[in-house]
Amino acid sequence: MATMRRPLIAGNWKMNLDHLQAIAFTQKLGWALKDAKYIASDVEVALFPPFTDLRSLQTLINADSLPFELGAQDLSVHDDGAHTGDVSGAFLKALECSYVIVGHSERRADHHETDDTIAAKSVAARRHGLTPIVCVGETAEDLELHGASKVPVDQLTVVLNSLSKDDDYVVAYEPVWAIGSGQAATADQANDVARALRETISSVHGPDKAETTRILYGGSVKAANIASFMSREHVDGALVGGASLDVSEFSSLIQFPKHVTLDS
Ligand code: PGA
């Protein structure tokens, strides 16, 4: 992690926690971090609840001045109109979302999203002033056939070709085989792919953009392994699924700078 890039810990709740559970969870997380004297300038925290929770969390975060950014798990390529079930980036912006996840492997698998769709979603996000968190990653089969970097680099290249160097975006490297499996990549594996992704950003949008863009690792990140990922040069944060659903686990993970288990 380079010091100029502010670490980002993003909690992807997936299809968990209804709006009442989300309110209770977020209040408890706020208290836990306050008790622990969490300093927001050290680590940025963003929550990605289901769409139906966004309005409740927006209200809570504002009312209690909680140190959380809000994000959505997906958005439509369209801005409005006859697209039943889709959600416009304009509506997310109106709820004060800062971020939106695009291209998560579960959307690629469940909804057959292609790299072109993910590029169009990234452009839609930027149209509404949202920062896309562009997820890329290889399956176990890809890993065997092509090694770790080729598929993520190819996926990212399609998206970057649709964005400009003036667009804010975050990249998340999430090997599909590591998601929800309990089998995280090693910190060195994550760093190697993150380096390749940074080189890709450099070749498409230039070295300055590559230097300032945050690259997250995701896939079975927990309080016990976050410090080793964060000790690596090219890993600037984490996209966390399962471990973001437990208040004490997630608050401990967010406080990774205090961990004494750095094994760089
Ligand atoms: P996991 O999920 O932390 O449960 O592996 C990560 C993700 O899907 O973003």
CATH code assigned at 105: 3.20.20.70
Tell whether 1 is covered by a domain. Answer: no
Q: Which helix (H) or strand (E) holds 115?
A: helix 115-127
Tell whether 39 is covered by a domain. Answer: yes
pLDDT tens-digit readout, 29-88: 999 999 999 988 889 999 999 999 999 999 999 999 999 999 999 999 999 999 999 999
Output the pLDDT for position 42.
87
pLDDT tens-digit readout, 130-186: 999 999 999 999 999 999 999 999 999 999 999 999 999 999 999 999 999 999 999
Tell whether 171 is covered by a domain. Answer: yes
Tell whether 3 is covered by a domain. Answer: no
Judge whether 104 counts as a catalytic residue.
yes
Catalytic residue among 69, 174, 205, 234: 174
Report residue 179 as tokens. Answer: 């998601």
Tell whether 59 is covered by a domain. Answer: yes
CB of 11 sitting under 6 A from ligand 1: no
pTM of this prediction exceeds 0.85: yes
Q: Residue length, the chain?
A: 264
| 3 state SS of 156 | helix
Distance CA 127, CA 147 (A): 35
- In which domain, by residue range, is 157 found? 8-258
Tell me phi and psi for residue 232, to 5 degrees.
-90, 145
Ligand 1 atom 1, closest CA: 241
Domain count, the chain: 1
- Tokens 């079930």 locate to 85
Tell whether 263 is covered by a domain. Answer: no
Tell whether 242 is covered by a domain. Answer: yes
Tell whether 264 is covered by a domain. Answer: no
CB of 179 sitting under 6 A from ligand 1: yes
More confident residue, 24 or 262: 24
